Amino acid sequence: MLIKESHADVQTNVDGKETSMRIFVFHPTIPQYPNARFPGIVLFSEIYQVTGPVARFARQIAGQGYIVAAPSSYHDFTGPEALAYDVPGTDQGNEWKVKKTLQSYDEDSYKTVDYLLTLPTCSGRIGATGMCLGGHLALRASLDPRISACVAYFATDVHSRTLGPHSGADTSAQGPENSNHTIDKLGEIRGEVAMIFGIKDTHVPDPGRDLIRQKLRSAGVVFSFYEFAWAQHAFIRDELSKGRYDPAITKVCFEVLLELFGRVLKTDLGPRDGKPEKIEHVC
């Protein structure tokens, strides 16, 4: 499927500050079908904003028949340009990641979904995906009931409650009272979620992944949980991945994404009835 690339600048107003957020748009096109309609996907980037690898990932998804909208997360502090995959870029991205408030992240997500729903070519069904910081943001975006499907790649800071301003990591099962952290609000998710991790990911160690899985299950979320034995953090980044890019596992994970998005966003499932499914115990 062919792709048309563009961008839209959307105004946000949060924390007493009005800024312009650039949304990079990757739109599928079918010759002679100008009124074709597609599901929308919000694609959240890693801490470097919309880099080459993120744009290539967006094109892959768009080529399968989805309108992909990738917001620039750090518009509170800078322009839409990508940060470099080097030490200064990494340090800057990590600094802004915790300086930006959860309210600002939520505003970005809502505004991007709003934008997709204004497009006459959008079917009205919305999914979310992302990697690293973006994996967390995709999961958090799913608190919005308008998002029906989420594929989160190696989502950071979920288990430790360290996204946005914080006083230190908190990996407790219960969490603080009236917590606004993503892991403590999973019961609000109404869509289906796929979580993808590498077992050798030092950013989300075994206890962290176990906590995320436990919290998803106790919250009653419909989810799949994938862990790959030899994958490290950032294993889908095909450029400057510091030796961690694994194309074979990346391919498998993209099939996971296509299955979930295809089943939930391209099929008219109607509302879920909530009735317990009776599974026959057979060999």
pLDDT tens for 190-225 read 999 999 999 999 999 999 999 999 999 999 999 999
User: According to the model, what pLDDT value does residue 267 have?
Assistant: 83
pLDDT tens for 10-20 read 999 998 889 99
In whole angstroms, how far apart are CA 47 and each of 44, 64, 91, 102, 140? 10, 26, 9, 15, 16
- Sequence-distant (6+) residues with CB within 8 A of 77 are 96, 99, 100
User: According to the model, what pLDDT value does residue 275 have?
Assistant: 85
pLDDT tens for 113-131 read 999 999 999 999 999 999 9
CA 61 vs. chain centroid, Å, equals 13
Q: Which two tokens stand for residue 73?
A: 């997360």
Going by DSSP bridges, is the β-strand pair 192-198/222-228 parallel, antiparallel, or unpaired? parallel
Q: What separation, in Å, do the N-terminal and C-terminal C-alpha atoms of the chain show?
A: 42
Helix (H) or strand (E) holding 62: helix 52-62
- Give CA–CA dist 103/101, Å, rounded: 5
41 band by pLDDT with thresholds 50, 70 and 90: very high
Catalytic residue list: 132, 201, 233
Q: Is the pLDDT score of 42 beyond 80?
A: yes
